[in-house]
Structure 1
């Protein structure tokens, strides 16, 4: 159920900012951005900080890898808005839409390195079942992924399990392909701040 608050529940200065963004970008502000502006003290500020650190903080995973993780977790959660947003962003980050599409279509045959494949498989299980085992972790580590990379991937999963649920709860409107591409360009330039 889409809440009207996402359309109108902002202070005049925030509404003016939205109008300026629309003028310069040619696109309406996506609902994901609107949500962080609504009651920033309760959710937005904390969510932006956590998500930015998970997605753009120091990590052995590339930005493309982390955006692919976000897209994959979103696919497992069947969150249409987040699948579109992070598929576009991962494709731009890698400069390879086909690679991203292959992973989302069939993880086992996708042309990616084994460490990333094992990590995505583990994130998928965690997202579907809410738990992973020591054997799942040993499989990821044996594929050459470091403990720090596992922690970094788990942070991405936590951020997008939360965001996916909010997107679906608030009924985020799907963007056009041009809208997702524009949003991806913004995310690659500015991150999640």
Structure 2
């Protein structure tokens, strides 16, 4: 149940976006740019990063939806739950582990990120552009996790499945069609 009492009892993020389309439209455009534009990371890898950050933040709403989206892009089922539990033993590609370690640390203790953390990402074969893109995904989902938790959104597994598949199929700008109320 949302803390925004003017919204329906079973409020979803799309309901919040419909109620506030002014900030929602550019936010969805930013999502599309960060999550789907050209990047050293595939869309699935960026969804993996988003779901991992959301899991680290214990944001079940975003973690659930973006886990489904990542899996729709080919990430093996169970990978994200295992990564959040224990990244070192998780069935994550060794090249991605330093990236997830970086965004995990950036999420938990941002002031403790060091050049050595970045060097671990580079040593795994990622470029500076990749580090930049990982930081953007991390920052965007820390923002979204706080927005979702701040307004009290919850979603069951059925909604996570529906929403995750919708993101896979239509991307983030595809959500703009749901914003029918102009302001």
- TM > 0.5 fold call: yes
8 A Cα contact 2:61 2:160, kept in partner: no
Higher relative contact order (CA 8 A, sep 6+): 2
Q: Residue by residue, what CA displacement relative to the aligned partner does 1:99-148 show, whole Å, maximum 9, x if unpaired?
A: 33322332111222223110110001111112311111111111111111
By how many angstroms is 1:68 displaced? 1.0
Instruction: Specify whether residues 107 and 95 from structure 1 end up closer, same or farther in structure 2 by C-alpha distance, changes over 3 A only.
Output: closer
- Pair 1:44 & 2:45 matched: no
Higher helix fraction: Structure 1 or Structure 2? 1
Match of 2:134 in 1: 153
Distance 1:127 1:162 in 2: 11
By how many angstroms is 1:76 displaced? 1.3
By how many angstroms is 1:178 displaced? 2.2
By how many angstroms is 1:90 displaced? 1.3
How many residue pairs end up in the alignment?
A: 171
Match of 2:99 in 1: 119
Aligned mate of 1:173, from 134, 154, 164: 154
Residues 44-193 of structure 1: pairs in structure 2 closer than 5 A:
44-94=24-74, 96-131=76-111, 132-175=113-156, 177-193=157-173
8 A Cα contact 1:6 1:31, kept in partner: no
Distance 1:126 1:116 in 2: 15
Segments of 5+ residues of structure 2 without an aligned counterpart are 174-183
Distance 1:51 1:70 in 2: 11
By how many angstroms is 1:174 displaced? 1.7
8 A Cα contact 1:71 1:82, kept in partner: yes
By how many angstroms is 1:57 displaced? 1.0
**SS in structure 1 of the partner of residue 55 of structure 2:** helix
